[in-house]
Amino acid sequence: MPVNIEISENNKIATMTVQNNDYTPKKFQLLLLKRVYENGTEEYKETTDLIATPVTFTLHGGKTQLIQLALKNTQNFSTRAKDYRIIVRELPCRVKIENNISSTVNLVVQHSIPITISR
């Protein structure tokens, strides 16, 4: 099921939950991007229009983390919707290798979730 976060005049703070289904701790970092059009092309650039907290966090196995998102300047609610994205990036962690043998491959993931700002 696709995920979409919406922030509006009636719902000024949005929340999302990140869950670690693994048994080992994982570190995450959040990045906020705004869709802009330059020279006829669509791009996403880092923005300070939104606030996300916490920006970085460690999530232990089986635990969840609540993330709160808000628009910094509520004057930015306009008749035209604005599109943003929150990137939830898993950070690489060190894996302890015993006896110089490792049979584990650790992959880090990144999720890009749309955020719509509307009136």
Q: Look at residue 49 and tell me if it is in a domain.
A: yes
Structurally, the chain folds into a number of domains equal to 1
pTM: 0.81
Q: Look at residue 77 and tell me if it is in a domain.
A: yes
CATH of the domain at 31: 2.60.40.10
Q: What is the pLDDT of residues 62-105, one digit of tens each?
A: 999 999 999 887 665 565 567 899 999 999 887 666 666 656 67
pLDDT at position 67 is 96
Q: Look at residue 97 and tell me if it is in a domain.
A: no
Query: What 3-state DSSP class applies to 100?
Result: coil
Q: What is the pLDDT of residues 32-63, one digit of tens each?
A: 999 888 888 989 999 998 999 999 999 999 99
Query: What CA–CA distance (Å, rounded) separates 17 from 65?
Result: 6
Question: 40 lies in which domain range?
Answer: 5-92+105-118
DSSP characters over 11-79? --EEEEEEE--SSS-EEEEEEEEEEEEETTEEEEEE-SSEEEE-SEEEE-TT-EEEEEEEES-GGG--S
